[in-house]
Amino acid sequence: MTLLLAPMEGLLDFVLRDVLTRIGGVDRCVSEFIRITDTLLPERVFYRYLPELRNGGRTLAGTPVRAQLLGSDPVTLADNAAHLAALGPEGIDLNFGCPAKVVNRHGGGAALLQEPERIATLVAAVRRAVPAHLPVSAKMRLGFNDASLALECAQAMQAGGACEIVVHARTKLDGYRPPAYWEQIPAIRAAVSVPVVANGEIWTVQDAQRCREVSGCDALMLGRGMVADPGLAWAIRAADGAADGRADSAAPLAVNWPDLLPHLADFWRLVCRDLEQRQRAGRLKQWLNLMRRRFPEAEVAFQQVRTLTDDDAVSVWLRAQNAHPNLLLVGQ
């Protein structure tokens, strides 16, 4: 089984990638998309999105990171891909799934799913522009307003030279509303010969097992589910190993709330080091808010920090939790 960590703009950035890959269980990450318009981006932009480029294209835990680009002009996309390739990412991924209106209005992201021919042109341009050894993959949704062109889009990605296709099993119109239509992925798998990765609404081990059964994919991409439960990848691997009579000696028995408190402290340290002050407390609250789905303790934690805006106050709260984890259950 292959487990990938999804790119999610404004959520799964390099800071959270760093922390989640320390917890472990995923094989590869993909960066937030880097938007390409009509200029050649300076190196500092690529380093801002992927500081892992300074570490051989890997997180500090050693997990490879593939850089994702979003654009609709083959020339500038190819030029930027070539520039980025020289900095040493694990590979380059192309975004054909972003549902944001501002992106779609300019012909990028999911809007391209209405034009398979343009997709083939874009992928081919990037494939030609980067060294042959560097993987070029693509991420798509099932379509824009409907899934009528899903097979053609996947075939266009393969024709352009994509070595792997991630399918977020919803249309742009569906947004992030459940369910994800995993049952539409087998037809895409049958239409192409490159590996297909299933993505969308994988929150639990049971979701992962059902997604594999329905989609037929042995590779899954985890997004919000991994943020909500940072031990999800290990839990999926443990269940997979148990089903096959195997055990992963590297896998923890479980990732519980006390195990996560040091990682929350690391996350806060990185947020304070790398992000602007106005973003910091909100990022911690954002993560705690998602973890409320999985951990009752996260609900208590979220209520305790939701009114905090001062960095020092948040730091004091985190130090108290790490020194005395049971304080979280009784409040402060």
Domains annotated for the chain, with CATH where assigned, are: 2-243 (3.20.20.70), 257-330 (1.20.225.30)
pLDDT (0 to 100) of residue 104: 86
Burial 271-310 (b: 16+ CB within 10 A, else e): bbeeeeeeebbebbbbbbbbbbebbebbebbbebbeebee
pLDDT (0 to 100) of residue 327: 59
pLDDT (0 to 100) of residue 323: 86
Residue the block writes with tokens 């083939």: 120
Average pLDDT (185-207) is: 98
Q: Of residues 29, 98, 211, 217, which has the active-site annotation?
A: 98
Please check the confidence at residue 332 and state whether its pLDDT lies above 60. Answer: no
Average pLDDT (238-243) is: 82
CB atoms within 10 A of CB 242: 11
pLDDT (0 to 100) of residue 48: 96
Please check the confidence at residue 252 and state whether its pLDDT lies above 80. Answer: no
CA angle 153, 154, 155 (to 5 degrees): 90
* CA proximity to 101, closest of 113, 110, 93, 92: 110
Average pLDDT (28-49) is: 96
pLDDT (0 to 100) of residue 101: 85
Report strand pairing: 219-222 vs 2-5.
parallel
pLDDT (0 to 100) of residue 102: 84
**Catalytic-residue membership of 272:** no
What residues form DSSP beta bridges with 3?
A: 220
Residue 68 DSSP symbol: E
Average pLDDT (159-171) is: 98
pLDDT (0 to 100) of residue 330: 44
What value does the mean pLDDT of the chain take? 94
Please check the confidence at residue 244 and state whether its pLDDT lies above 70. Answer: no
